[in-house]
Amino acid sequence: MKFPILLPNIFNYPFTYESDFQLKIGDFVEVPFGKSKSIGVVWNEFEKSNNKHFKTKKIIKKLDIPTLKKNIIEFLNWFSDYNIVPKGMALKLVLLGGKPVKIFEKKFYQNFHSKIKKNSIKFTSEQKEALNQMNLSNKKFKVHVLQGITGSGKTIVYFEVLKKILKEGYQGLILLPEIGLTGQFEKKFIEFFGFKPAIWHSGITKKNKEIIWSGVINEKIKIVIGARSSLFLPFKNLGLIIVDEEHDQSYKQDEGIIYNARDMAISRASFENIPINLITSVPSVETYTNIKKNKYNLSKLEKRYQNASLPNYEIINMNNVKLEKQSWISKEIINKVSFHLEKKHQVLFFLNRRGFSPNVFCKKCLSVFSCPHCSINLVYHKNKDNLLCHYCGFKTSLKRSCAQEGSCNFIFSGPGVERISDEVKKNFPSKKIEIFSSDTMNKKSSKFKLEKIINNEVDILVGTQLISKGFHFPNLNCIVVIDIDLSSHGHDLRGAEKNLQLYHQLSGRAGRTGEPSTVYFQTYNTNEKMILDITNKNPDIFLDKEVEIRKKNNLPPFQRFISLILTGENENKLEKEAIRFKLFLKNKIDGKILGPVIAPIFRLKKKYRIRLLIRGSKTLKLQNSLASIIPKFKFLPGIKLSVDVDPISFN
């Protein structure tokens, strides 16, 4: 008997094999492939071949692993079509390095036993109302948005919903946007449920991944808390998906297989026919539009836990201030911060730039220190005493001979968090100061550092946007935004939306335990309305305006964008190939082609980059037409094409 077997590789179709033993869709099998063996899955459709007389090989054996559910296979087929990704590569996301895992001994799953402890939580009337609206007695697919200001107790509400699902014997998945959030979140989870969840992200060991993968497909593990890739775990009996901080742009996977984990989570819930909850303080424009169209249900929490008030805002106009040389903090801010420190408040200086200085050049020979592999400047990191590329990871020493004579005489232009930290130390020498960025929080010490902050053993934090993402700092009552102007420029379609979400999230870190708190904005921008817009207690006012602008200009979510990025090491060859590719696509696809243009970051990881942008209707027609035509174009050797459906960044 013949069977279609999909292999986890670059092919967009299954291969036909023969077998004497009975198999069903979703069975894992071992098959001969070329001169080696490969693991594959019995798929739900045969390859489309004109050759009726090809020789079929025999399946070696069926593996002793539970069957992959049909709705996961259907989801992967859809995922492949939507993101223009080969079906085999979609399957690879489900398998660990192309291999499934056999069941472990019982002792390996004991850490994850799911006996729920009893807890007596008093919900507010608002929280009770949200729980009623999220009633999950109906197990059908439904998208529910829980929107609540930061500190309103959204997590406890969806924990209660998850508890119901677990008691009925289902599994649950909680998606988080950042690996750094899992530690503090896990602690909160254990406090509520009384057992340990499975944590899944790129930083866990291969052995732990194997235990979780097998535990999920064998129903030995009930709850997974994970980053993007946890969405592809082969749950046997999934009952609920929760996407926390649904607006967060970290859900976009922008390397390798490109996809948006939030959107794919909604699709997976649809194929599983189960509810999904999107949690946010400020919804993304896409989610907000779907709420307005009544596609998604909405419940709101508008009061903070224990009626803690939201912070006040003060604008410090830097046009009226004379800063000292090599200084970025005004005297007025120093006085305000001193007042808060006297009251034993924790203080945060916020600047969304890692390192010490984003630009370094020599005063004598005027050399700018840029990355040899990317068309961007190297950032000086004083703590490591090196220059670093934040895109490709290239590192180099600051010591170098000058083209004029002797050694270079460096000028550091602009501040990063390390430089602000140095200035803060000069002004507050007796205070305990910590830097909070991805350079300092991805290490083993981050758990210890978080505990110090929570226990008020740190007086002043200096942080990047990582600090805005869901952390709970009970003593933080003063936030200083060093320069709001730094993140207000650029040609990003989502720039305004990102700012709205960032500053709502950031201000939500302050005043969570009831003490009066303030966010101070240092700015040279005299347009105070812009700051008032993005800090308005009701973000819907801003979102309504943003939706109107997008609708008027036919921008997402009212039209589909697909980015086609061509990369190559030869600049001239790449430019000619991009024009040839555009002419080839013209009149053959169901959309309008813009470009080609050089990418804002023209060179990345030694490769030049040119972009085309396709605009079209919000149906699969655009993807289908591209998927059928792209394979017919033969790129010159050394030129690679990446396809990004629904791009978030245009770098």
CA proximity to 295, closest of 133, 145, 147 = 145
**End-to-end alpha carbon distance in the chain:** 51
Burial level of 33, CB count in 10 A (0-12/13-18/19+)? Answer: middle
For residue range 231-260, list pLDDT tens digits in order. Answer: 999 999 999 999 999 999 999 998 889 999
The DSSP output letter for 23 is -
* Residue 205 to residue 371: CA distance in whole angstroms: 32
* Residue 266 to residue 487: CA distance in whole angstroms: 30
pLDDT of amino acid 176: 93
Domains annotated for the chain, with CATH where assigned, are 2-94 (3.40.1440.60), 123-305 (3.40.50.300), 308-353+415-548 (3.40.50.300), 560-645 (3.30.70.600)
* Residue 263 to residue 143: CA distance in whole angstroms: 11
pLDDT of amino acid 488: 45
Specify whether the backbone of 609 is left (phi greater than 0), alpha (psi in -120 to 50) or beta: beta
Side chain identity at residue 463, one-letter code: G
Do 447 and 384 meet the contact criterion of CB atoms below 8 Å apart? Answer: no
Percent of the chain clearing pLDDT 70 (strictly above) = 94
* Residue 89 to residue 651: CA distance in whole angstroms: 25
* Residue 644 to residue 332: CA distance in whole angstroms: 46
Of 527 and 479, which is predicted with more confidence?
A: 479
- Mean predicted confidence (pLDDT) in 89-96: 93
The C-alpha angle with vertex 178 and arms to 177 and 184, in degrees rounded to 5, equals: 110
pLDDT of amino acid 430: 93
pLDDT of amino acid 108: 87
Of the listed ranges 10-24, 102-116, 519-533, the one predicted with least confidence? 519-533
Q: How confident is the model at residue 46 (pLDDT cuts 50, 70, 90)?
A: confident
Strand locations in 259-318 (E):
259-260, 275-280, 297-301, 312-317
The answer to whether residue 228 scores a pLDDT higher than 90 is: yes
CA proximity to 311, closest of 78, 535, 21 = 535
For residue range 424-460, list pLDDT tens digits in order. Answer: 999 999 999 988 887 777 656 667 778 788 888 889 9
The answer to whether residue 486 scores a pLDDT higher than 60 is: no
Rounded mean pLDDT of the chain? 88
Strand locations in 89-229 (E):
142-148, 171-175, 198-200, 223-226
- Mean predicted confidence (pLDDT) in 393-401: 86
The upper half-sphere exposure of residue 138, i.e. CA atoms within 13 Å in the direction of its Cβ, equals: 9
Burial level of 187, CB count in 10 A (0-12/13-18/19+)? Answer: middle
* Residue 192 to residue 341: CA distance in whole angstroms: 33
pLDDT of amino acid 490: 46
The DSSP output letter for 257 is S
* Residue 67 to residue 88: CA distance in whole angstroms: 17
Q: How confident is the model at residue 308 (pLDDT cuts 50, 70, 90)?
A: low
For residue range 380-389, list pLDDT tens digits in order. Answer: 999 888 999 9
pLDDT of amino acid 485: 58
Tell me the whole-structure pTM to 2 decimals: 0.91
Strand locations in 487-606 (E):
518-523, 560-568, 592-604
pLDDT of amino acid 305: 67
Residue 586: φ, ψ to 5° = -55, 130
